[in-house]
Amino acid sequence: MSDVYQKVLEIFRTKLDYGDDLEIEPGSTFAELDIDSLDLLEVVMAIELEYGIEIPDDVLQEMQTVENAVAYVEKKVNEGK
Amino acid sequence: MKIAIDAMGGDHAPQEIIAGVKQALVKEKDLEIILVGSEEAFAEYLSVLPERLTTVISHSVMAMDESVENLRKKKDSSIFMATQLVAEKKADAIISCGSTGAQMGAALLLLGRVKGVKRPAIVIPYPTLKGPKVFLDGGANVEADERNLLDFAIMGNAYARFLTNKKRPEVALLSNGSEAHKGTAVVREAHQLMAAAKGLHFIGNLEGRDIMTGDYDVLVTDGFTGNLALKLTEGVASGLFHLIKEEITATAMRKIGAVLVKPGLKNIAQRFDYSNYGGAPLLGVNGVSLVCHGSSKATAVENAVYNAASFVKQNFIEQLTNDIAAYHQEQKQNLTGGKENE
């Protein structure tokens, strides 16, 4: 499990869990996690802040799972190396 | 105490916002205010800086109809920058008359939520026959599930305790019938959750016709219904006043009577005037964020400043956080059969 994966998962947990011990798997879809536009905004901005990146709107629209988010961040982090 | 104010939000911004701030500074000598707005706005309406007023320049505005997602690209907007001042502890509270969605988004992003709350709610002082009562959600969440409604009830309860000093305010749920089985599936579930919550003095469902009676301290509903109810009340009150005016001035004889009833009618209008209530707090975010009516003028802004100062002085956020934590502790104890405390 990569560092990026761990960190992104932590961001999802911090932003979405409100006392239910929410279970988040890599394959969890945003719909399964009951993520609405405000949740997504919170998660995305926290990721952008953490990695100093900007997730374009078209990429965001295609993003459906936690895995998708991790893959995009890993790609951007690797590009920056 | 420092209060950050979005000078660009609202139908009458920036002039009425600036006017309200100036009035508040004259009356409240302990206050410092940071106005966040455009250079042009300050050049036009704030040529001389009063004492205890500073400005921060913002470069964009979140429009009323703009999607909250645009906040990502508008970190230089007045609402974002004003909220950031609170997040960075440079101000104690934020006030805005601009887009509610943007204010909620900025508060969630920068201040975070009170632990245990998924969705913040706007709480409104609803003018009833027994004075203003706590009504929420005023429109922050168009959709809400039963857990959200329970959160609203707990937050409304904390707010009513703060306002009225009542230890156990009476909390009700808005539905289409007083019986527990009435309402949508979400309302029925919420009814069960509220009835089971030991920290709440839940008095059951109330119907739309009961809103005005004020036979409750807190009335809970989702933001869609809440906003409809509020706007409907405003519309009915305004329509009724129009009809009364039409009727009592229809003949020369009635006009004589109209002179006599005018002061009474004025008093009623005052009780319905939102500008007297000075903004509504966004409950559930980790800081004082006051939402003002979009059409607020100077008096409403001035009252919002006093209101925000009172929330800060009395540590309202701490009280709210404690109430929410107590509820979650109670839930855990129920699940573990009280073993946690053994």
List the domains of chain B with CATH numbers: 1-117+284-316+326-342 (3.40.718.10), 123-277 (3.40.718.10)
Which positions in chain A have a beta carbon within 8 angstroms of at least one beta carbon in chain B?
Answer: 18-19, 37-38, 41-42, 44-45, 48
Mean pLDDT value of segment B320-340: 77
* Distance separating alpha carbons of residues B297 and B301, to the nearest angstrom: 6
| Chain B residues inside the 8 Å CB shell of A45 | 71-72, 109
Mean pLDDT value of segment B303-309: 95
| Chain A residues inside the 8 Å CB shell of B72 | 41, 44-45, 48
pLDDT in the model for residue B323:
87
**Cβ distance of B116 and A45 shorter than 8 Å:** no
- Tell me the pLDDT tens digit for each residue of A12-68: 888 886 656 677 888 888 888 888 878 888 899 889 989 989 898 889 888 899 899
The two tokens of residue B266 are 């004025």
pLDDT in the model for residue A72:
93
The two tokens of residue B273 are 């005037």
The alpha-carbon gap from A73 to the nearest alpha carbon of chain B, in Å, equals: 17
Tell which residue, B156, B177, B165, has the closest CA to residue B283. B156
Number of H-type helices and E-type strands within chain B: 10, 11
pLDDT in the model for residue A49:
87
* Distance separating alpha carbons of residues B233 and B261, to the nearest angstrom: 22
Mean pLDDT value of segment B27-42: 96
pLDDT in the model for residue A81:
63
* Distance separating alpha carbons of residues B235 and B106, to the nearest angstrom: 30
Nearest neighbour of A42 by CB, restricted to B108, B115, B331 = B108
The alpha-carbon gap from A40 to the nearest alpha carbon of chain B, in Å, equals: 9
* Distance separating alpha carbons of residues B249 and B255, to the nearest angstrom: 5
**Cβ distance of A37 and B69 shorter than 8 Å:** yes
Closest chain B residue to A21 measured between Cα atoms?
Answer: B116
pLDDT at residue B198 is higher than 60: yes
pLDDT in the model for residue A23:
79
ipTM (interface predicted TM): 0.72
Number of Cβ pairs closer than 8 Å across A and B?
A: 31
Q: Please, which residues have CB within 8 angstroms of residue B100's CB and are 6 or more apart in sequence?
A: B122, B139, B140, B291
- Residue that the structure tokens 């869609």 belong to: B224
The two tokens of residue B43 are 């050049």
**Cβ distance of A19 and B109 shorter than 8 Å:** no
pLDDT in the model for residue B208:
94
Average pLDDT over chain B reads 91
- Residue that the structure tokens 């109810």 belong to: B229
| Chain B residues inside the 8 Å CB shell of A37 | 67-69
Other C-beta atoms closer than 10 Å to the C-beta of B243 total: 10
Which CATH number is A37's domain given? 1.10.1200.10
Domain span holding position A48: 3-80
More confident residue, B142 or B77: B77
pLDDT in the model for residue B125:
87
**Cβ distance of A41 and B68 shorter than 8 Å:** yes
More confident residue, B97 or A77: B97
* Distance separating alpha carbons of residues A49 and B87, to the nearest angstrom: 15
Name the band, by pLDDT with cuts 50, 70 and 90, for residue B329: confident
* Distance separating alpha carbons of residues B163 and B124, to the nearest angstrom: 12
* Distance separating alpha carbons of residues B3 and B306, to the nearest angstrom: 10
Q: Which of A22, A41, A48 to mutate to test the interface with B (most CBs of B within 10 A)?
A: A41
SS3 B105: helix
pLDDT in the model for residue B341:
47
The alpha-carbon gap from B140 to the nearest alpha carbon of chain A, in Å, equals: 11
Other C-beta atoms closer than 10 Å to the C-beta of B227 total: 20
Please state the domain count of chain A. Answer: 1
Task: Say how many residues make up chain A.
Answer: 81
pLDDT in the model for residue B166:
93
Q: Which of B70, B103, B109 to mutate to test the interface with A (most CBs of A within 10 A)?
A: B109
pLDDT in the model for residue A19:
59
**Cβ distance of A48 and B72 shorter than 8 Å:** yes
- Tell me the pLDDT tens digit for each residue of B144-197: 999 999 999 999 999 999 888 899 999 999 999 999 999 999 999 999 999 999
- Tell me the pLDDT tens digit for each residue of B244-298: 989 999 999 899 888 888 888 888 877 777 667 678 899 999 999 999 989 899 9
